[in-house]
Structure formats: C-alpha cells, structure tokens
Structure 1
Amino acid sequence: MDFLSLFLMDFIKQLQSPTLGFLIGGMVIAALGSELVIPEAICTIIVFMLLTKIGLNGGIAIRNSNLTEMILPAAFAIVTGILVVFIARYTLAKLPKVKTVDAIATGGLFGAVSGSTMAAALTLLEEQKISYEAWSGALYPFMDIPALVTAIVIANIYINKKKYKEAAYSIEKQSFSEQRVAAGNYPDQKDYPSSRQEYLSQQKGAADNRVKIWPIIEESLRGPALSAMLLGLALGLFTQPESVYKSFYDPAFRGLLSILMLVMGMEAWSRIGELRKVAQWYVVYSVVAPFLHGLIAFGLGMIAHYATGFSMGGVVILAIIASSSSDISGPPTLRAGIPSANPSAYIGASTAVGTPVAIGLCIPFFIGLAQAIGG
C-alpha cells in the first residue's frame, strides 16, 4: 500500500478518534458562542495527571532499559529544539510586518514541546498497536528547554545590539555635547565621557552584558508541565510505582486527555482573534512550521533508527514533539524572558493554528510516513 493511501487511512482514523473529535468539538461550540467553562483548576489537575503518567511510564522504562539507547535520540532532540529557533529567526523574522523579537519568541514556542500533543500521539500509537520505546516521552525536556533557552538568549542579544546601534546612530545625528545634555545621563561632571568613542564604548558595554542561561533553565524546570513530567520520571526511576500506575494513571489517561482536548479546542478558537492583530504571515508559518520541524526530526530519528535500532514508533514521537508547540510552560517562560515580544503573535500562532495542525494533521502524517517506510 502506497504512502498516500496509508496517510488517508490514518487521517480518517484520526478524525474518528476521541482525541481530535474533542478538539474539533471544542472549537465548534466556542464558534457557536457556548458559555461552557471548565475551571482552570480542573485543567491544571488534568495536565498534572497526564504528564505525571507519561513521566512515570518513561521512568519505569528507563529503569528497565539500557540508558545508552537514549543518547542519540536525546542528542537529536536537543539539536532540533535549537534549530527550530534559528529557522524562525532567519525565515519568519524576514517576512513583511513581522518583528524580529516576535519571530524569535514564536520560534521558541514552536521549538518547545506540547505535552498534550505528545499525549495525543502516544494514545494513537497505542490504539494502532504501533510499538515505541516507553522512554520516548522522556525526550520532552531535551527539546523543550534548549528551545526556550536559545530563543531567550538570541532575543536578548538582538535587543542589546539594536540598542547599541540606535545609540551610535543618535550620536551621528547630533554633536556629543548636545547628546549629553539631552540625555541627562551624567548628573556629575566627573561622570561625563571624555569623547564620543568612550560614550559608544559605554553603550556597547551595556549591550554586551551576557544573558544568564541558568535562570532561564530554572524557570523552565519550574513550569507546571516540566515539573509534573520530571516528577513522574524521578518516581518511575527511583521508586516502584507500577501498582498505582496500572490502577489509576493508566486507566484515567484517555478520559482526561479528551477533556483537555475539548478545552484546547475552545482556547484555540478564542485565540484566532488575536492573530488578526499581527501579520498574517504567522498563520502561514503556523501551518508550514509543524510539518517542516517534524520532517527534520523524523530524518534525524531515522538516522537513530538505522544506527541504534530506535523504533519507528519512537521516530514518530520525536517528529511529533518537534511538530508541536508549547501550550503550557512555554508562554509564561517567554513572557518573563522576552517581555518586549507580543504574546498575541507567538501564543496566538501556537494555540489557534499550530496545535490543531500538529494534532489533526501531523500525527496521522508521520504515522503514515513511518508505516510507508517501515512497510
């Protein structure tokens, strides 16, 4: 059976699955003006339980497997997360009416990982009886943290360089003495720079302040999504949680995921209005980027497949987390790290378009691609 037939079959199955069905249902009732509201506290609990379950499963699997098997896939996850940010920096940022800082933040959000999209992919793989390494879900932080750190560092470097160039340009337009009086930055005579070059050196010194990376990593690790997953991972590694996993977390997983998909569908519809406030290139990017990022990760995953025996199901998971865009921990991290970026641009692009594309199109696309290649 050719790739197109497999893709169409998987896409139809996905349309009939509860995962996408609830997502579309949420968008429909929001479009019809429904006043249905699911409290934020319930959503927080659901996210915690879903990601804890994935972490527990990964921790148990890592404890019972050879850690060396993870090295290459984890390295490829890191590379993909960083690469996604640079792609946005040198593609989206070059498009008309797109601000560079907003583009970098968007790249950071698309390089980071959506726990809900990963959960949806794991569910569909299980429904179709496609095997994958249970520790594949643990690749999440290896892609998520590097993407967010890279975005914040690149954005701050860009902002600082821009400030320095603006200072230099301002001095070119007026004499140094006029600039000094107008700015009023030197209340004491002893603080006056003695020359234009010294003034520019001071500006450059301020612009070259290094962005501290560790606080960004700490911010990411403290986020609710990564915290829940890493907690589950640690418990799976260092304790024996099999009984509570089998009796509670595993049976409740699909039901909780369906509720989260409903909420995400409603949220996606509400965010569509935000995209009207920014350049429409964000819509184009949000449709194309999940496939591009996923194909890059899929290609790297195939290298791991042939080199180490990484399963095709694992390759699909790597591609799907690359296709996803963070919807939980990423936005607050970027708000704090790049405060000058417009949230309507990067959050709107992710939630309104990126997530539905990743769940509804990319998951069946990469499953079909894996089945076509793997026979």
Structure 2
Amino acid sequence: MQNFLDPAILFFVFGLLAGLVKSNLEIPPPISRFLSLYLLMALGLKGGFALAGSGFNASVATSLACAVLLAILIPVMGYQVLRRFLSGFDAAAIAATYGSVSAVTFITTTQFLESHQIAYGGHMAAAMALMESPAIVIAVLLANRVRHSLSVQSNSLASNQQARIAGSQVSLGKLLHESVTDGAQMLLMGALVIGMLTGESGKAVMHVFSVDLFKGMLAFFLLDMGLLAARNISALKTSSIGLLIYAVVAPVLHAGIALLLSVLCGLNPGDACLLMLLAASASYIAVPAALRIAIPEANPSLYIGLSLGVTFPVNILVGIPLYSHIAQRVLAH
C-alpha cells in the first residue's frame, strides 16, 4: 500500500485514469523526450558516482554476467512458448520485446529502493544497458529462420523470400550499430563513465541535478507514461486471452529466473530486486522501433500493446514492491 502513496506512482495512476476517461491532457512529445533523457543522464551519473566508490570487482562482474544471460535466455524461451499459438514473426517480435528491458521501470525501481533505504550497486545501470540489444539480434535471427522456412514451403515465392532474407541479414549489423549508438543508450553510458571519472567531487557539484530534481522529473514522466499506457490498453481489445495472460504471467516467471540466479550468485537484495525487475520488464521504445524495420511482418499493436498496456502498469503498480519484498526475504543475511 505504501508504494501507491508515493507521489510518482500516484501521478502514473492519475495519468492512467485521465487516459481511460479520454481526457485531452497530454505532455508534448519534445518535453517527454527531454524528461526521458534527463532521467537516463541522472541515473547514469548516480551509477557512476557509486561505481567510483566501489570499483569494478567480482560482485559487479557476476551481476553483469547474470544480466547478459537473462537477456539471451528470456527471448529464446519466450519464442518457444509463443510460437505455439502465433505466427513466427509475431512470436519473435513479442519474445524480443519481453527479452529486452524498460528503462522507466528500472528508474522507478531505483527510486523506490532509495526511498526505502535499500542499497543497490551503481553498476546495475550498466546491466540495464547490456540487456537491451541481445533480444533484437535473437529476434532477427529467428525471423530469418521463419522466412527461410516459408521460402522452402513455397517455391513460387522462393526468389522473393530469399531477397528478403538477404536484406534482413545485411541489416543485422546496421541494427546492432544503431542499438549500441542509440542516443539514449549512449547518454546513459556516457553519464556513467563521467560519474566514475569525477567521483565524489562530481557528485557534490551535480547533486542538485541528479538527486534533488530527480523525484519531480520522474513523477512528471510517469504522468506521461500513464496517459500512454491508457491509450495502449484500449488497443488490446482484439487480443486473445492467452496473450493477455502471457503479458502478466511471463514477466513473473522471468523475475523468478532472475531471483534464482541472484541466489546462486549471492547478489544482495537491492541488486537482486533490480535484476528481477529488468527480467520482468518489456521494452516499448527501443526494441519496437528496431522491430518495425527488422520484422515488418509482425503486428506492432501486439508487441507494443502488451508491453505498454499490460506489463508496464503491472510492474509499476505491483511488481516493484512485490519483487523488492521477495528479494529481501530470500536474500537478507
């Protein structure tokens, strides 16, 4: 209940309700973009300042390795399940969406942990960045396999399908480059490095920017996310019950895998909570933008609608306090 009394969460709920009643309240796209960049920059700085104090050690390396493993495992598992009742293209697209991460979910979780005085490592911001791209690569490879299968089944369309396969394979390197050099991704990593280099002196200078303003900016951004989530909820009316169940149940299972890895690797409760939320989250910005180019055969209303209309609100309202509680109960020493 305490999570619902957090101003940032309440602004998300308010935005969700305003969107559902079809209010004309909206945040202009340039302001929304600015807020997103601000949050990533502040998060990167805070993570860098924390890393400057702790350094890169075995614990940091273990957490990052767990993050990469999850980023590979989740989309592969998701595709195997989704392929049973969806086309190969839609299955690959949704698996990639749920195999990647939501930066806003991560940022909101860090704020929750800080407000409850639960320690976590600054390196988890790097873990989030590492988890963004693998799912895109896996989805492209899976889509190429589906196209190849279709070309074998239909000889009359073989030449056309082979051309599409070649085009997609050529674009894989481009997609990787765009993913790594994406402006938001680079800003996060750049701020992380700057925070590490400047350490305590940088932390003192940037305190107002990266700490004092953070909560208000997050609340404003979550208001916009509530409005956006409401619009995507209405787009899910034609989705099957099975997909809606997947959007709720699959993230819980992914979080369970992250918890198991955390226990096996001895992560602290704060890092484990963040890893669980990263595993449970789904991308609704970076991956969908890449999928529109890489897998045009997939239905965007499915992978965007499910991630933003179902999984994101569930994680923000229920997942964050739930996974935090579980991580503390299981991993508290």
Structure 2 CA distance, aligned partners of 1:57 and 1:357?
Answer: 26
CA offsets 1:101-153 (integer angstroms, 9 cap, x no match): 11211111111111110011001111111111122222112211112221222
Matches within 5 A, 1:1-375: 12-68=1-57, 69-95=59-85, 98-167=86-155, 209=166, 211-212=169-170, 213-239=172-198, 241-305=202-266, 310-373=267-330, 374=332
Structure (1 or 2) with the larger CA radius of gyration: 1
1:367 offset after TM fit, Å?
Answer: 0.9
What SS is found at the alignment partner of 1:131? Answer: coil
Residues 224 and 290 of structure 1: is their aligned pair in 2 closer, same or farther, counting only changes over 3 Å?
A: farther
What amino acid is aligned across from residue 13 of structure 2 in structure 1?
I
Greater shift, 260-269 or 325-334, is seen at: 325-334
Residues 100 and 350 of structure 1: is their aligned pair in 2 closer, same or farther, counting only changes over 3 Å?
A: same
1:268 offset after TM fit, Å?
Answer: 0.9
CA offsets 1:221-274 (integer angstroms, 9 cap, x no match): 233431321221232234453244312121111111111111111111111222
What amino acid is aligned across from residue 268 of structure 1 in structure 2?
A
Contact 1:224–1:329 (CA under 8 A) maintained in structure 2: no
CA offsets 1:29-70 (integer angstroms, 9 cap, x no match): 111221111100001010001011111122233333332332
Contact 2:259–2:272 (CA under 8 A) maintained in structure 1: yes
Structure 1 CA distance, aligned partners of 2:254 and 2:83?
Answer: 17
Contact 1:268–1:351 (CA under 8 A) maintained in structure 2: yes
1:74 offset after TM fit, Å?
Answer: 1.1
Greater shift, 234-243 or 280-289, is seen at: 234-243
Contact 1:53–1:249 (CA under 8 A) maintained in structure 2: yes
1:204 offset after TM fit, Å?
Answer: 9.4
Contact 2:8–2:216 (CA under 8 A) maintained in structure 1: no
CA offsets 1:190-221 (integer angstroms, 9 cap, x no match): xxxxxxxxxx8x79976875835432221212
Contact 2:89–2:298 (CA under 8 A) maintained in structure 1: yes
Structure 1 CA distance, aligned partners of 2:65 and 2:118?
Answer: 24
Contact 2:45–2:210 (CA under 8 A) maintained in structure 1: no
Structure 1 CA distance, aligned partners of 2:302 and 2:100?
Answer: 16
For structure 2, the 5+ residue unaligned runs are: none
Contact 1:274–1:344 (CA under 8 A) maintained in structure 2: yes
TM superposition score normalised by structure 2: 0.91
Structure 1 CA distance, aligned partners of 2:160 and 2:25?
Answer: 53
For structure 1, the 5+ residue unaligned runs are: 1-11, 171-182, 184-199
Structure 1 CA distance, aligned partners of 2:222 and 2:265?
Answer: 31
1:161 offset after TM fit, Å?
Answer: 2.4
1:165 offset after TM fit, Å?
Answer: 2.2
TM superposition score normalised by structure 1: 0.81
Greater shift, 143-152 or 271-280, is seen at: 271-280
What amino acid is aligned across from residue 110 of structure 2 in structure 1?
L
1:282 offset after TM fit, Å?
Answer: 2.0
What is the percentage of aligned positions where both structures have the same residue? 29
Structure 1 CA distance, aligned partners of 2:323 and 2:32?
Answer: 28
Provide the aligned length of Structure 1 versus Structure 2: 327
Structure 2 CA distance, aligned partners of 1:258 and 1:81?
Answer: 28
Structure 1 CA distance, aligned partners of 2:165 and 2:24?
Answer: 50
What amino acid is aligned across from residue 111 of structure 1 in structure 2?
G
CA RMSD of aligned residues (A): 2.2
Greater shift, 38-47 or 360-369, is seen at: 360-369
